[in-house]
Chain A
Amino acid sequence: MSFIDRLDAIDRRWIFLMMACAVAIPIIVIGLTGARFPEVPGPTSTATFETIEALPEGAKVLFSFDFDPASAGELQPMANAFMRHLGQKKAKVYCQTLWASATPLIEETLKKCLLTQSPDLVYGVDYVNLGYQAGNEGVMKVISTDYKQSFPTDAKGTRTTAIPMMEGIENTSSFDLIMVVSAGYPGSKEWVQYVVSPTLGKGKPIQLVAGVTGVSAPQLVPYFPTQMQGMLAAIKGAAEYEYMVNEVIKAANPGKPLPPAYMEAQRRMAPQLFGHLLMVGLIIVGNTIFFVKRRQSRSGSAMKAAA
């Protein structure tokens, strides 16, 4: 058995081991050294940042957490950076979800990102967690015309009409911006279809920015920038946006060191780099095997034909 044949028949568990090392070793190294790669923000991340940056102080922002713990590794850094940015902008934050297993994620994000940054914020006045409602696009249909019908109480059970910051909220058009972090269905696509698109060409269209998984990013890019003003694509988008938000936080707090928790997405770019390099290497080796074997089989058939 030649080397090429042996390589071609390699047990897939060796490939698994290589992937494990490519990701795990940089995490340990980065975790111990604190090193980071520089980020150059791309157009979709910049557009997201600028849309939020253009919000006036006290802007009403609906933040939908449409993901679950399965995708939190990729999306939570985006949600965290979004929340910190909203805190910097002193926006009124209305959190909700259309995914059953996201309510604890909302609480955690509010606690770790908004309240640690601005501990004086008051629940129901500056931020609210409206929790989950079942129905996917059915909920979107209702909140497009009557928000409080679909969310009669917040996540804690307080009547929505009794929450001070809900005054003046009639439907999704009452918000200055809708922010969605989504992992699939229902998610950013449905927000574009059921909430944003009906308002296109009718007075003031709803503004929407989204943070999405790598899997769904290519499917959503056609909506940018007409139906979606900004998009963070995968962990790279999160790292770029996080970098821009951190610059804002640094400028607002001169001389104060940035907490390392604020660099969650940028930190993840190191394992990402080595994982990608391994993938590129595997593709190159796989194709080398393919071409060598094809040449061998062609020359073999040519010899047979000559014989």
Chain B
Amino acid sequence: MRRAAQPSEYMQLLANALIAGSLAALIAGGLALVYGVLGVFNMALGQLVLFGGYSTWWLHQVVHLPLIPSVLGGLASGALMTWFTFEIFVNPFYKHHRFLPLVTTIAWSMILDGMMLLLFEERPRSILPGLKKTFEIQGARISVEQCILILLTLVALLAFAYVFHRTSFGRKLRAVVQHDSAALSLGINSAVLHRVIFIVSGVFAGAGGIFIGIDQNLSPTFAFPLTIKAYAAIIAGGKGNIWGAIFCAYLIAGLEQVLVGVHWFGAFYVPAGYQQTVALLFIIFFLLLKPSGLFSSQSRTA
């Protein structure tokens, strides 16, 4: 083929990093919020991602609804499934000890894995099969769907930042994060807030799954690696710091792309098999230097 011009190659790497980073931020952001507000680990997150994607696939490819209603339906069924997860596997337990849901959601993730195998079979599924239309910006090739993902993630993050820091609902949220009981004594219904936050995280996760189903393809064994990466971002970002988690989600995804894509020192390439390992090793190394995470602070800031 051709010797690619250097600048366009870096633009392509940047685009790749933005695509992977937006997906990671979407999945990890909601999870960080749940951890910040409830102090709960939801190990069934990857399965909720896939459930949102598979529901959309089913609505679009089996029921033959148009794409937009299918996506909305996928988000709604993701929200319903997350709500169900909260009521059965989290709500009865987390008040006793915040580590109990760790066990119950692992059990639920295994049940969901089996359920999705039965419902959707083991073969891969694609919401929009075939090739996507791509175009070039500054030498980087990108598809319309990928642009939409990057922009929608940005919009979602900005909207969330506005709600969180500029509205009374956001103030209530931050109050619950800082001190649950104190907030309750001031008349904030924290039980309802917990439920809302948990479901919102599920909707974000479902949106991530829908993107995977459109841009790549869905397979039922894909859930656990998704969960692990989201947790790496949360831990590296400083537990409970949502902006730290989102930054680290972009950082890890970007590192993975750059590590493998760059001709290091003009001498060697990192083999693709090390892609995930090296990025996570970097995080471990960073935590050795700063064990509380990149953006930790004295009090939880959500």
A and B bound?
no
